Homo-oligomer: A and B are copies of this chain.
Amino acid sequence: MTLALDAAAQDLLFREARTANTFTPEPVTDEQLQAIYDLVKYAPTAFNQQPLRVVLVRSAEARERLLPHMAEGNRPKTATAPAVAILAADNEFHEELPTQFPAFPQAKDVLFAERPVREKSAALNAALQAGYFIIGVRAAGLAAGPMTGFDAAGINKEFFPDGAHTVLAVVNIGKPGENAWYPRSPRLSYDEVVTTL
C-alpha cells in the first residue's frame, strides 16, 4: 500500500471517475453543492487567496442565457445536465485578503495593487481551485463534465458584466446517463512527465 488513500476513494476520485457526456434527470441538490464547496474550500492556494467564483445555472432561463455561448458540440450536454457550474476567476480577490490572510493583511496593497498581477495570480489560483472543485464533484458521487469549448468573451459579458471576472471552465454535473463515456484516452507515462535531478 504505497498510497494512504483507500482504494475505494482512489477509484471514486480518479481511477474510475470519468468525464460524463450524458446525464440522467436525477436532480443535483443544493445540499450536495454546498457539501462539495464545504469540502474543497480547504485546499491550498497562494496567500490563501480564493478567487474562484461559481455561477450555478439551475433555472431554464439561466440555461437559455448560457447555451448560445457554448460550442455547438457541448450544447446538448449543457442543456440536459441537472446542474451546470460556470467557474470563473474574480480578479478583485485582493479585496478579501485582509480578512482571508490575516498573517499578512498588507498583501492586498503591497502585492496585488495592479490588475495584471491580480489577473495572473487569479488565473493560477482559481484554476487550482477549479481542479479541487472537480474532485469535489466526484467526492459527492456525481460525475463532472468540465468544458472549455465556449465563447469566453460572451460568457464574461453575459454573466459577469462588472468586467472583474474571467470564465475558466463550465462544468456539467449529474449522474451519468446512457452512453455517458467516450473511451478513455492515453496518459503520459511517469518518465515522460517527471524528471529527477
Contact = CB atoms under 8 A, between A and B. Distances in A.
A2 B35 contact: yes
A123 interface: yes
Contacts of A156: none
Q: Which of A2, A32, A39, A124 has the most CB of B within 10 A?
A: A2
Contacts of A33: 194
> Which size bracket describes the interface of A in this complex?
35 or more
Contacts of A5: 9, 12-13, 39, 138-141
Contacts of A38: 190
Interface string A27-63: 0001111111111111110101010111111110110
Contacts of A155: none
Nearest to A16: B42
Shortest beta-carbon contacts, A-B, top 5: A131-B131, A4-B141, A127-B127, A62-B197, A5-B139
27 contacts: A2-B35, A2-B140, A3-B139, A4-B140, A4-B141, A5-B9, A5-B39, A6-B8, A9-B9, A9-B139, A14-B42, A30-B196, A37-B194, A38-B190, A44-B134, A44-B146, A46-B147, A52-B193, A53-B195, A55-B196, A55-B197, A56-B194, A58-B197, A101-B185, A124-B148, A127-B127, A127-B128
